[in-house]
Amino acid sequence: MLLALLINRKDTRAKGFWRFCFVLSSAVPMFVSLLIMRTMLQPNGAVNVLLRSLGLIAPEASLPFFTDPTWARVTVIVINIWVGVPYTLMQLTGVLQSIPAELYDAAKVDGAGPVRTFCSITLPYMLYVTTPYLIATFTGNVNNFNVIYLLSGGDPVTNLASTAGSTDLLVTWLYKLTIDKQYYNVGAVVGIMTFIILSVGALFSYRRSKSYKEEGGF
């Protein structure tokens, strides 16, 4: 949202260029991007080799992108955001461009400042339009199998007695339970419970939102 607001400001120059830069990653299939990032962030990958050559880390050292639990979680989150930026940016850009200019003109006449205008016009309008998309995105991230499986594989595993790694989601844990461990009973229960919780949560959130209660209000 912040990125879309910055690009769509009246004072921002070369808006098309900035949109192109951030949307460019969507032209490459997601699995290709994830596999490339996984290779680059390995202990002997391009990123660590470059940092060693620049003297930013010791010659024998490497940043633990996928070997330390905290580093692995942060790495997965950052890359997931980077992969998801193009779609969210295009969605929010369309929303911002559809807000009637008369609303901003009226707010300016009434003496509203930038903060007041954002809180009273831009943010409510964006949330009103994008609430269904946000709910679907949240549900999709819970079931985001590709990012975890192709990027970290759920690793690192700090507890050998556990069936889940430090970066596993419910969907990747479910995969390990059924494919690797053959715990089909437990996997079936986890899958059914995940479906129930997500469906009830999504339905409850949507029915309480203004997008549902005030359809056609904007």
How far is the C-alpha of 106 from the C-alpha of 83, rounded, in Å? Answer: 38
Q: What is the pTM of this model?
A: 0.84
CATH code of the domain containing 62: 1.10.3720.10
Segment of 47-51, 121-125, 140-144 carrying the highest mean pLDDT = 47-51
Longest Cα–Cα distance in the chain = 67
In a domain, 188, yes or no: no
Q: Look up residue 146 and give its two tokens.
A: 């590709």
C-alpha–C-alpha distance, residues 10 and 149, integer Å:
41
Measure the CA–CA gap between 85 and 79, rounded to whole angstroms. Answer: 10
What are the percentages of helix, strand and coil residues in the chain, rounded to 5? 70, 0, 30
Q: Compute, in degrees rounded to 10, the torsion defined by CA atoms 38, 41, 42, 48.
A: 160
Mean pLDDT of the chain: 88
> Which domain range does residue 107 map to?
2-151
Query: Is position 100 within any domain?
Result: yes
pLDDT digits (tens, 9 = 90+) for 132-157: 888 988 888 888 999 999 999 999 98
Residue 95 lies in a domain: yes
Is residue 110 one of the residues assigned to a domain? yes
Q: Using pLDDT thresholds of 50, 70 and 90, give the confidence band for residue 12.
A: confident
Overall number of domains in the chain:
1
* Residue 44 belongs to some domain of the structure: yes
Say if 183 falls within a structural domain.
no
The answer to whether position 178 is within a domain reads no
pLDDT for 45 equals 94
177 in a structural domain: no
